[in-house]
Structure 1
Amino acid sequence: MKLKIGEFARLGQVTVQTLRYYADLDLLRPGEVDPFTGYRYYLLDQLPALHRILALKDMGIPLEQVKRLLHDNISPEEMRRILLLKQDEIRSQVQNSLDQLERIDIRLKMLEHKSKPTNYEIDIKHVDALQVASVTGEVPDYRDVGPLWMELSECIQASKLQVDAPYLTLCHATEPRIKLEVCAPVGNPIDDAPQGLVRVLPEVKTML
């Protein structure tokens, strides 16, 4: 049964432009072209081929590779191998996106902590020992602590640590330069963190 290009497009739920594009790629050519009018006709039994093209394209397989898969009449085992490779590629992309989301979450928590108004009331309290991930460095001014937070964020992400607020900034020295340590609490014991990244802040019985 011959179908005009518009009829075949509606049946396959694609546009006429898509069918013309597939024909130009030699991916799915019309079953017949009228030599006098140039009208393109598709055959009803070409519909499964169109559905295979759309299914493979929907899985992210490039059209050039789809063309080879269809024209070479590859075996089911070869098709399975290709789909497994595509599956691994997509999983890697998803993991990269999750890693990016985690980095964004860490930065947002840090920004939230630093944007909170400072309470200058004096409060004498007892502070328990606290396990933290920390980075120490010297800065010319207290306002230059930003790069230390950036470095800590990258270390936390690389080590896949689970941290929580509140974040701390400790001052170890003021002369000749200001020595600061930025800290993020780590909830669970860490056995495989890089040496020097995680430490336990000692208990402080009296702190202002």
Structure 2
Amino acid sequence: MFSIGEFARLGLVSVRMLRHYDAVGLLRPAYVDPVTGYRSYQAAQLSRLNRIVAIKDLGFTLEQVRAILDEKVGTEELHGMVRLRRAQIEARISADLARLRGVEARLRAIETEGHMGAAEVVVKKVPRVRVAELAARAKSYEPEDITPVIGPLYDELCSRLDVAGVAVTGPGIAYYEAREDGSVLVHAAMQVSAEPRPGQDFLVTDLPVLEHAATVIHHGSMDEAGGSFQALAHWIEAHGHRGCGLAREVYLHSPENRDDWVTELQMEVSPPEPVTPAPLSQEPRP
């Protein structure tokens, strides 16, 4: 048998923690001296200690740990719990990193306010284009909600096009539909020349002509496109246009490194409103 100090060192926990586990009934000593009250433990109890620490470190409360241990959870089930917890932690880290990148992008947008020249925005007619697409709903139009939706959509779309033998004829195009509840329907599309066929597990459709589109080229990850969108908005307002809906994104160059992406943002706009000249003032006759 081992004293509580020896057992704590063997189990890589503190004596205080062993006393707490004893107090809440999670891990009782194998023997307690009736005179001194000294606790003693057996090596076999390290197995239960390992399970307690592992389950607790997965984020469960001690009450939940007791319930899990009472169900005699096996090693394979513990591994499954670890895999699930790892996925949750990785998702949280990814979301936190995306939020941090968003803050940094906002700061860069603030630093560059007013420095984007008008020559960088081009108004043009965007022709009708045939695409194959998949769509899914995102919680909002914010990058941290769009990115986790649009990436898997494109992966799945490209896989389905490959299985169907449909060739891609041009760069990918993403477009969005705002919903009344604040969510956004995300359309991930690839340009194709195929005809719609029964049984296809993707939609083949024609994106309509944009008679007047204010366009700008964004360099870098779309998570950091806020500055380009805001510069486009300033240009549209300054030149007497009105924006119509959410912008299309045409991925002109999308290598594995997102920092090297080149994307054309296309926002449909109304023609500029004509300027009514001020009436000439008439001086009174002498």
**Normalised by the shorter chain, which TM-score bucket?**
0.5 to 0.7
Partner in structure 1 of residue 18 of structure 2: 19
Structure 1 position 39, deviation (Å): 1.3
Change in Cα spacing, 1:111 to 1:98, as seen in structure 2 (3 Å) is: same
Do the aligned partners of residues 179 and 91 (structure 1) sit closer, same or farther apart at CA in structure 2, a change above 3 Å counting? same
Q: Equivalents in 1 of 2:48, 2:71: separation in Å?
A: 13
Residue number among 226, 243, 266 corresponding to 1:200 in the alignment: 266
Match of residue 64 from structure 2: 65
Shift of 1:179: 6.5
CA 1:185–1:98: 2 relative to 1, 3 Å: farther
Spell out, residue by residue over 1:54-85, the C-alpha distance to the aligned partner (whole angstroms, 9 max, x if none).
232233333222223333434x3xx6557546
Distance in 2, matches of 1:123 and 1:71, equals: 69
The within-5 A match list for 1:105-184 is 105-116=101-112, 118=114, 127=122, 154-160=141-147, 163=222, 164-165=224-225, 167=228, 168=231, 169-172=233-236
Q: What displacement does 1:86 show?
A: 6.1
Alpha carbon RMSD of aligned pairs, Å? 4.2
- Write the deviation string for residues 129-162 of structure 1: whole angstroms up to 9, x where unpaired: 699xxxxxxxxxxxxxxxxxxxxx9444433265
- In the alignment, is the contact (CA less than 8 A) between 2:247 and 2:265 conserved in 1? no
Change (3 A) 1:103 1:128: farther
1:98 matched to 2:94: yes
Alignment TM-score, normalising by the size of structure 2? 0.44
Q: Which residue of 1 aligns with 2:189?
A: none
- Count of aligned residue pairs for this structure pair: 165
Return the offset for 1:11. 1.8
Question: Is the 1:173–1:179 Cα contact (8 Å) retained in structure 2?
Answer: yes
Larger RCO of the pair (alpha carbons < 8 Å, separation 6+): 1
Gaps of 5+ in 1: 132-152, 190-197, 203-208
SS class of match (1:200): strand
Amino acid paired to 1:7: E
Q: Which residue of 1 aligns with 2:136?
A: none
Q: Which residue of 2 aligns with 1:34?
A: 33
For 1:95 and 1:9, the matched residues in 2 are separated by 34
Instruction: Write the distance in 1 (CA, Å) between the matches of 2:27 and 2:36.
Output: 20
Shift of 1:21: 0.5
How far apart are the structure 2 equivalents of 1:25 and 1:5?
A: 16
Contact 2:21 2:27 in 1 (8 A): yes
Residues in 2 aligned to 1:125 and 1:51: alpha-carbon distance in whole angstroms: 62
- In 1, the alpha carbon distance for the partners of 2:19 and 2:143 equals 51
1:188 maps to which of 251, 272, 275:
251
Percent identity, aligned pairs only?
Answer: 28
Give TM-score, length-normalised by structure 1.
0.58
For the 8 Å contact 1:9–1:15, the answer to whether it is kept is yes
